[in-house]
Amino acid sequence: MLNIVLLGFMGTGKTSVGQRISEKLQMSMVDTDTIVETDNQMIIGKIFDRYGEDYFRNLENAAVRKASKYTNHVISTGGGVVLRAENLNLLQENGLLFCLKATPEEIFERIKDDSHRPLLKGPNPPNKIRHLLQTRQVQYQRIEHQIETTNSSIEEVTNQIIGIYQSASSPPQP
């Protein structure tokens, strides 16, 4: 069975929705950020601080390679996985790709109390969110299934994704 691959900006619900899909469909879940942290024995904030973003992107690419070899998994990804087209090609080999979306205002509301996202540290996070979203918009838009989450609950988003996944996985009618 194909993987369910969740992509999208920080705070769009990839982890929460991924966990719920994994419970409902009894599929194991992996997360590329967790793979990076486990394989390198370092949290992402520290990797950014010590070695910078480019270095992190190489580790992230290695994590994507690893995750994309699985089948029948829910794969939750870091928000910047789309920055390398190669990552999307790898994930597509065994997976159905979903891009979770939300407005910048909603994203800020969801992540404003978290301190573990290095790209949003410092003054004026709402501006950083708007700017990053804009620079990545083209890459996010290329993903086949676009799922708007701004006014939806985790359960609604989960059910929408499961519905698409199940119809894509069912054999064609005679």
Output the CA–CA distances (angstroms, integers) from residue 72 to 38, 47, 68, 133, 168, in the order listed: 21, 30, 11, 30, 14
33 binds ligand S3P (CB under 6 A): yes
37 binds ligand S3P (CB under 6 A): no
| Beta carbon nearer to ligand S3P, 6 or 27 | 6
* CB atoms near residue 68 (< 10 Å): 22
CA distance 120 to 99: 20
17 binds ligand S3P (CB under 6 A): no
Q: Closest separation between CB of residue 78 and ligand S3P, Å?
A: 2
Considering only the stretches 16-24, 66-74, 102-110, 112-120, report the one whose residues sit in contact with ligand S3P under the rule CB under 6 A: 112-120
User: Which one, of 140, 160, 143, 164, lies nearest residue 152 by Cα?
Assistant: 160
Q: Closest separation between CB of residue 164 and ligand S3P, Å?
A: 21
Considering only the stretches 92-100, 111-119, 147-155, 162-170, report the one whose residues sit in contact with ligand S3P under the rule CB under 6 A: 111-119
Q: How many CA atoms lie within 13 A of 30 on its CB side?
A: 18
Per-residue binder mask for ligand S3P (CB under 6 A), 70-109, x = binder: --------xxx-----------------------------
CA distance 78 to 14: 9
Output the CA–CA distances (angstroms, integers) from residue 43 to 35, 56, 59, 166, in the order listed: 10, 11, 12, 35
Q: Closest separation between CB of residue 12 and ligand S3P, Å?
A: 8
Where on the chain is the footprint of ligand S3P (CB under 6 A)? 10, 14, 33, 44, 78-80, 117-119
